Structure 1
Amino acid sequence: MLERAPIILPKKRRYYIETNYSHYVHAHHKEPLNVTRKVIEENYPKYLNAFDKVMKRRSAHMFNMFIMKNKEFKQYAEWLFNILSLAEREIDISNYSVQEARVFGYLSELLMDVWIEKNNKSYVECSWIQVGPRQLLKKVFFFLIRKLKIKNSRTHF
């Protein structure tokens, strides 16, 4: 597969009734995503249009899974960790749950497509499987709670 493109990604996850932005803010704290946009605007302004475009999409390469050739990996890692480092200075996670304290992992899931979009990187997609139960009914239940903004002490599973 690396002979066809320098990057291998999982098939995109599709959100049929939400954008990447709305899915994120219904599942997580909104502030980190807004801080990340501000960091990009101030430090990587050439990436801002790609960021906004990705946020409006209804699909993304999620799960922080990829295989890259060394050159692309070094470029991506430098860009990504610079952004996350700057965002980390602005985001106070001291009152976040254990799940939400993983915020930088959640942000990086969306930043992958921003980097690919801006740099016009070619990639191939492959299928992936989840090990363990998918818990679809539980996911639907908590999705509806978040969508309806019902307060619940347990917003994630």
Structure 2
Amino acid sequence: MGAEGKVDSQGKPLSLGYTKDNTGDNISTKNDSYSELTGLYWAWKNLDTDYIGLAHYRRLFGGSKRVGKDRVKWAITGTELDKLIENNDIILPRKRHYYIETLYSHYEHTHYANQLDETREVIADLYPDYLEMYDVVLNQRSGYMFNMVIMRRDLLDKYCSWLFSILFELEKRMGKQNLSKFQGRFYGRVSEIIFNVWLQYQIKQGNISKGRIQEVPIVYVEPVNWFKKGQAFLAAKFLHKRYKGSF
């Protein structure tokens, strides 16, 4: 991800051993603010396949077996995935629950709420039919997060067309802002939330069946410090201390 401009010690383009996202039709230069979405954009524009999926270097879709200490081997296998795809159009990580926070209030406490407020204005201008669902989702206490999805190609085409039109307009209005490197990745974070807007709207309209959506566990490649994460969550909620990094 974000391979634009990366070079080796001799100044030559860095070889990663796999196709980089600065090839073909790409937005690799936006990686510092769009995060993994530069990979999603590349796959959307450059792959010819029936399904397209996106996971992370830190988070993977989990399989049925968790044996040994190598967490990468806990990931879903190709055989397992083939069986899921037979009966599903969308595969997602299990919903994340915030319990004492709505999606809006959690974002407000950990990041900057004006990013979501401006996103609402963009949606009102570009996709007013989605505005009611936007308000519903932002008041929920759970959602599909992390920009992880495996989706039937035709559905992904519709989602990406919708998503990137919103983000590109949001970027015109907001730019990069004067934020830390961590907080500057907000276009990727906004997309985590508005994916739920798009999905729930499509379900409501009858374009996607709930019965064709499958949730699977998440595998964290590196152990998560849940105590530290919980402390940061509570500090954001009650002491208004925004997140300074990942956990």
TM-score normalised by the shorter chain: which range applies?
A: over 0.9
The two structures, once aligned, show a CA RMSD in angstroms of 1.6
2: distance between equivalents of 1:85 and 1:113?
19
Say which structure, 1 or 2, has more relative contact order (CA 8 Å, 6+ apart).
1
If the length of structure 1 is used for normalisation, what is the TM-score?
0.92
Question: Partner of 1:149 in structure 2?
Answer: 239
- Give the deviation of 1:8 after TM superposition: 0.7
2: distance between equivalents of 1:25 and 1:10?
23
2: distance between equivalents of 1:103 and 1:151?
17
Question: Partner of 2:113 in structure 1?
Answer: 30
After superposition, where does 1:80-91 map in structure 2 within 5 Å? 80-91=163-174
If the length of structure 2 is used for normalisation, what is the TM-score?
0.60
Residue 154 of structure 2 is aligned to residue 71 of structure 1: yes
* SS of alignment partner, residue 91 of structure 2: strand
Question: Partner of 1:126 in structure 2?
Answer: 216
Letter in 2 for 1:127: P
Unaligned residue ranges in structure 1 (runs of 5+): none
* SS of alignment partner, residue 148 of structure 1: helix
2: distance between equivalents of 1:78 and 1:150?
35
Q: 2:129 aligns with which of 18, 21, 46?
A: 46
1: distance between equivalents of 2:105 and 2:94?
20
Question: Partner of 2:185 in structure 1?
Answer: 102
1: distance between equivalents of 2:127 and 2:98?
27
1: distance between equivalents of 2:179 and 2:241?
16
Question: Partner of 1:117 in structure 2?
Answer: 200
* SS of alignment partner, residue 224 of structure 2: coil
User: Does 103-112 or 119-128 show the bigger shift?
Assistant: 119-128
Letter in 2 for 1:156: G
Does the 8 A contact of 2:97 with 2:141 survive in 1? yes
Letter in 2 for 1:138: K
Letter in 2 for 1:23: H
* SS of alignment partner, residue 33 of structure 1: helix
Query: How has the CA–CA distance of structure 1 residues 47 and 5 changed in structure 2, closer, same or farther, with 3 Å as cutoff?
Result: same
Unaligned residue ranges in structure 2 (runs of 5+): 1-83
